[in-house]
Structure 1
Amino acid sequence: MAVARRLTALKVNSLMIPGRYGDGEGLYLYVKPAAGGGVSKSWVLRYSIDGRRRDMGLGRPPVVTLAEARELAMAARKQLATAIDPLVVRARSREKRRRLAGHPTFETAARSWHEEAKDGWRSEKQRKAALTMLETYAFPEIGTVRIDEVEAGDIRRILAPLWIKKPETGRRLRQRLMKVVEWAAAEGYRSTPLSLALVNTSLPKQPRAEHRKAMPWRDVPTFIKKLRAADNADNVRAALELLVLTAGRSSEVRGATWQEFDLVAGLWSVPAERMKAGRPHLVPLPPAALELLKVQLGRRVECSDLVFPGRNLKSPLSDMTLSMFMRREELEAVPHGFRSSFRDWAADNGHAADLAEAALAHAPGDKTIQAYQRSDMLERRRQLMVDWAAFCAGDKNAGGK
């Protein structure tokens, strides 16, 4: 059934008496006295949503004709039919236009994203590294480009020189570039984010990552014997041996401080900010590791709290220092590979897989990790590390299950 209209184009033009004139279905022409004499006219759509009455302005005649006002009212009613408030849609659109009118540059957007994400980084070092990476590779290229004008080709141009030569750096940089663009889209500075698939397909395939070479677990006792007899600096030998005995990462061992160790309880508490997974890790120390640390304590210098300081006593040993020892011994294995040596030894000698994974801080899930921090499980892990240290010392019967 056709809706009866009360207004015509002629009537709209001729109305000069102040008042509200209905056209049907909530559309009204408001006629009001004008400040300079005469009258002013405006279109208003009156509707209700969620129990509230609302008035939505649709413009003024003659700029907006009667036919156009009806079309605008119909569009608003369609939104209402799907429980969408057209005034909310309009407010969001205006806010978006306001934002787009003041587009930030890529650098400004990146710094804003970085500041908002400051509490989400695992460590202060990681937080600073993220911004430094953008400052080094992205800002010189697109720092002054408006964020809404950054395209997939710009991202590709930044990544291409790194993608093959420094694949890990390239992947991390890609992630951070895309995060900045996604932040800008969410904030209304871009209509859409960039297509990650398009960026990926435009880059060459990266070479398959080589696993860091590990020493066969049966060769570890011979290595430890050579290590203890080597004429290298005491710091280097001690750090490398502790790395083997605890199956720790190079960064965890080299950055260790004396506050992390309880030599009476035989425990090493690695804080979350120094762990790859961002969770604290408790390491039971076997007797051989405790003896090593007590000797190292006797070498402690007052100006440094590091267990293994480098030449600059306030900085830890470099990772290259440990790697160079392996090279001088003409070994293909790398320090990190001793974690694999430990894992293979545990598997081949009947130790529970989840126990070995917990020792490596690989235990999946918070509940599993918490379980392995309990005293009873901790003692099981302690026995595992005692068996491993005994094997490393040359006890061929150690660790068998």
Structure 2
Amino acid sequence: MSCMKFHSHDHAEHIPPASQGKILFKNCTIFDGINEQLDTGQDVLVEKNLISKIVPTGSTSFDNIDTILDCEGRTLIPGLIDCHWHSVVAALDMASLMNSDMTYIGIVAGCAAKETLLRGFTSCRDLGGATFGLKKATDNGTIEGPRIYPCGAFISQTSGHFDFRPPNYVPSNPGDSLDYLQRNGMMLVCDGVPEILKRTREVLRMGATHIKIAGGGGVASQYDYVDVSEFRLDEVKAAVDCAKAWNTYVCAHVLTDAAIRTCVEAGVKTIEHGNLASRETLELMKEKDPILNDEDAIPFPPGSPQQEKFEYVTNGTIATAKMAKEIGVKMAFGTDILFDKKLADKQGRFLSKMPKCGFTPYEALKMATSTNAEVLKLCNQRDPYPHALGVVQEGAYADLILVDGNPLEDLDLISQPKEKFIAIMKDGKLHKNMFE
């Protein structure tokens, strides 16, 4: 099988950062992202943007080391991965998003990207928004931020979860121009198989690593109800088949049992949320092998329709997560933070709460590292980052966090990045170094 590639300015490959030379993490305890057993007394050598050697401390003499970090037994873990992140809309309130020009939105998103990285999240799967420019700016070093696996625009049906058009925009005419957010790739509204095929292909053309659709009603949306099933089976299958032709996959925002079944039957690979799934549907998900992605709290005005929907949905979250674990459904970790900078600043706290859903600190950390990396890699040939992520292994990307303490014993350390993350490295570059 032969493969041809072409690259435009929007499809540029990842460019490693300017080398900081050889960096040695000396005498560290390693959580490799996979195994619960920690490896003590290890040296980790980073060259360019990769982990080149992991050896017992003192067993090898390294030459020409530019920077030595004496970890004194502290825990070195893989960079964290958020599998349901919104790079553009996490730090903006809804009113600002709806009424600001894209230059302002981009500047806010760029500033927020560095803050995300300094919370220890070195990679994210972005699940909706105009992120292609932000990804390009982080890849080429214009700004600091996590790796981004972008889906581009949310794809929604009319009156679906991602239909953010003004209230009086319907009825629409075939000749109407796209509204501002659609023109700038924040979301796209389409109906029927031909339209969903066109929009899916357009988003893939822009550089999406995967596709995000609305499979059912949601909480933050204005015009739908939680119980609504949205795209029909033939529409979802059209998006799935289109993505499959590009060697990638579709993920779906979906909450209710009926809508989950439609998406799973159509071949959707990851179910985002799934809060109201039944045991029978979870069994089907295990058979089909998608991945359930949890969500957490977003504040809505007291008494608002969104708050009522949120309370209804989240009543099922913990029970569903525990049942999914019991059945053996694969689960990934994601925060799904929207429209609230203060909440975005607490990104790590969402991970530290996983024991409430029945997960041990080890299970939570594995989920947020190597398991989430498996999700990132579902995009196959569309993967812009070819080396391993979410692990501390030779040959993997040097995405590393040095933690003051053992997060497998105290997961709350993850929620204190300013105090407890001594060093944060992404792509072989130290973005935080408290040794200096």
Common fold by TM > 0.5:
no
Q: Which has the larger radius of gyration?
A: 1
| TM, length-normalised to structure 1 | 0.22
| TM, length-normalised to structure 2 | 0.20
Higher strand share: 2
Question: Which structure ranks higher in relative contact order (CA pairs < 8 Å, sequence separation ≥ 6)?
Answer: 2
Higher helix share: 1
